[in-house]
């Protein structure tokens, strides 16, 4: 066996983060979770913030554990996270304030104000990105509208992964896949959408150079290397948007495939060589996010397991504590197709009493609301699977792809109910796994930067060698077809 090449992936999800140690022997990638932590936002004076320094503390704890396990021979480190959010640093390199959470209320009404100035279709044709009020564009414009003094102080905008790259190296760059999520990148010009930025009076000076995934940014600073022992480690710009990393780890040999990166969010789409910006993608509100190895990700966001997580959080706080496995068991016992929600309704965007929001949606749409926790979970899972069916139809209409297989990667791949329902709702074979796709993709892009992997084909071969998958076959077509015909009445299409 060749000597092992060791790398560290920091995978920062919207609900939890992990420090992962990767070991590569030239054919198989092994991963080991070193530290997992909850990523809990904080309300302060009416604003929802990310606890960015708490995250840094947990990441450092993971680095110390890597060192304690003899990890002085780490070759590289890479960061990935959710998209759209950012930190701002001043001219002296200090973080101006805690980054604001994308679910904060400051973006309410901002899309409409932006459209009054520059036009809705114009925004899409410049950026190719779907309209979501959480996008970085509307976050920054809300600061312009409120005359936030933080913007006057700010010298550089850094996306969340690049903020941590900066903490380790002192270098201020932004990585391509993360930047493209913000609706402030023009994929045709290959640069920030500067015309749009100027029209909205967002200070242009804060936007840094953009670097490609799989690029070595620099070495870890002396202070960090002295503390953690990573003396020879390079810091790599991986595919820093977590979905970008997850798609690298789709274990396919085919080009014509559909993926769902499933976790707090579900991101469902296909891989393309170029952005698809036209009337159909505008009409269907699809997005063109940057991918690894020169690709783009044509996809649509679906709210995902966030709704389940918020239900569990609400029940836990009320002293009614159930594991996810117990909630699934209750759902399996519940009546099928009793009621549906549109997972992407604005009602479900913000935190709060999610079970009550589901009941409200059902009542407002003339449905009998769920009566029990099992009913609530089953409603969510069936609705998610049926929403995937709706998105799949649009993908086929836009691209003409056959979509004979759906690959579910990420945390949702271990949810047997969701995978089962997805196969049935879409009448399509589902291949689930790897669960740790994002961390694997992060590590694979580090290997590419180090010259160990040459292309996406080789990266996916390594994934197939390294991780198990589970296959779900479609069934019960008639029942799910009837359910879909009902479901369509309750969604904004």
Catalytic positions: 242
Radius of gyration of the chain (CA): 22
Are β-strands 174-175 and 266-272 bridged in parallel, bridged antiparallel, or unpaired?
unpaired
**CA–CA dist 440, 353 (Å, integer):** 34
**CA–CA dist 360, 383 (Å, integer):** 15
């Amino acid at each position: 066996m060749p000597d092992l090449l060791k790398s560290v992936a920091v995978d920062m999800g919207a609900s939890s983060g992990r420090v992962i140690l990767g070991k590569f022997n030239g054919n198989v990638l092994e991963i080991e979770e070193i530290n997992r932590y909850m990523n809990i936002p904080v309300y302060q004076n009416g604003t929802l913030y990310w606890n960015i320094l708490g995250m840094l503390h947990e990441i450092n704890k993971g680095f110390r554990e890597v060192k304690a396990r003899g990890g002085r021979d780490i070759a590289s480190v890479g960061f990935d996270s959710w998209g759209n959010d950012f930190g701002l640093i001043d001219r002296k390199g200090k973080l101006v304030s805690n980054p604001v959470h994308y679910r904060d209320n400051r973006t309410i009404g901002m899309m409409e104000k932006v459209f009054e100035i520059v036009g809705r279709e114009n925004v899409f044709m410049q950026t190719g990105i779907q309209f979501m009020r959480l996008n970085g564009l509307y976050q920054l414009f809300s600061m312009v509208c409120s005359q936030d003094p933080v913007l006057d102080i700010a010298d550089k905008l850094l996306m969340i992964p690049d903020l941590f790259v900066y903490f380790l190296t002192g270098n201020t760059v932004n990585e391509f896949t993360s930047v493209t999520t913000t609706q402030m990148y023009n994929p045709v010009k290959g640069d920030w959408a500067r015309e749009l930025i100027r029209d909205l009076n967002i200070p242009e000076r804060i936007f840094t150079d953009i670097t490609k995934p799989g690029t070595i940014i620099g070495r870890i600073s002396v202070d960090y290397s002295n503390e953690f022992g990573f003396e020879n480690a390079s810091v790599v710009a991986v595919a820093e948007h977590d979905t970008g990393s997850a798609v690298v780890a789709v274990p396919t040999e085919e080009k014509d495939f559909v993926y769902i990166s499933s976790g707090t969010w579900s991101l469902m789409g296909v891989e393309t060589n170029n952005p698809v910006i036209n009337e159909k993608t505008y009409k269907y509100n699809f997005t063109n996010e940057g991918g690894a190895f020169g690709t783009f990700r044509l996809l649509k966001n679906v709210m995902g397991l966030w709704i389940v997580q918020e239900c569990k959080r609400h029940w836990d706080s009320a002293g009614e504590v159930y594991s996810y496995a117990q909630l699934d068991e209750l759902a399996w016992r519940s009546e099928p197709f009793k009621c549906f929600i549109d997972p992407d309704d604005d009602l479900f965007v913000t935190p709060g009493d999610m079970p009550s929001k589901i009941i409200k949606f059902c009542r407002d749409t003339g449905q009998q609301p769920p009566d029990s926790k099992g009913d609530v979970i089953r409603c969510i899972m069936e609705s998610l699977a049926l929403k995937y069916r709706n998105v799949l139809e649009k993908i086929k209409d836009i691209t003409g792809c056959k979509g004979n297989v759906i690959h579910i990667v990420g945390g949702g791949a271990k949810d047997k109910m969701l995978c089962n329902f997805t196969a049935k709702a879409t009448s399509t074979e589902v291949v689930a796994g790897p669960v740790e796709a994002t961390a694997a993709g992060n590590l694979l892009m580090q290997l590419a930067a180090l010259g160990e992997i040459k292309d996406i084909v080789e990266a996916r071969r390594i994934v197939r060698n390294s991780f198990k998958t589970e296959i779900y076959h479609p069934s019960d077509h008639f029942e799910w077809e009837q359910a879909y015909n009902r479901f369509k009445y309750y969604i904004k299409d």
